[in-house]
Amino acid sequence: MSLLLLLKGMCLRHMGREKQADVAFRKVISSEKELVADHYLVPYASYELAISQWSQNNLDAAFTILENAK
């Protein structure tokens, strides 16, 4: 489900629906403890969320998200 949410968020972001994409990315990030495999999804979702925030001129939020992804 997390992989689908990541892909959905990426599609939404490329369609210009940033707010809906952010929701999908945040759901992936919040499901981190439930992921048994595919641990790469959370850093990818964090990166995509940071890019989305950057495009919305929320630079501080983007930097914070990237720092947390490290």
List, for residues 9-56, the tens digit of each pLDDT value.
999 999 999 999 999 999 999 998 888 888 899 999 999 999 999 999
* pLDDT reported for residue 32: 86
- The first and second tokens of residue 34, run together, are 């439930």
Alpha helices in 1-70 (DSSP H): 2-14, 18-30, 41-55, 59-69
**pTM score of the predicted model:** 0.88
* pLDDT reported for residue 37: 85
Q: Which domains does the chain have, with CATH numbers?
A: 2-69 (1.25.40)
Tokens 């689908």 correspond to 4
* Residue 5 to residue 22: CA distance in whole angstroms: 10
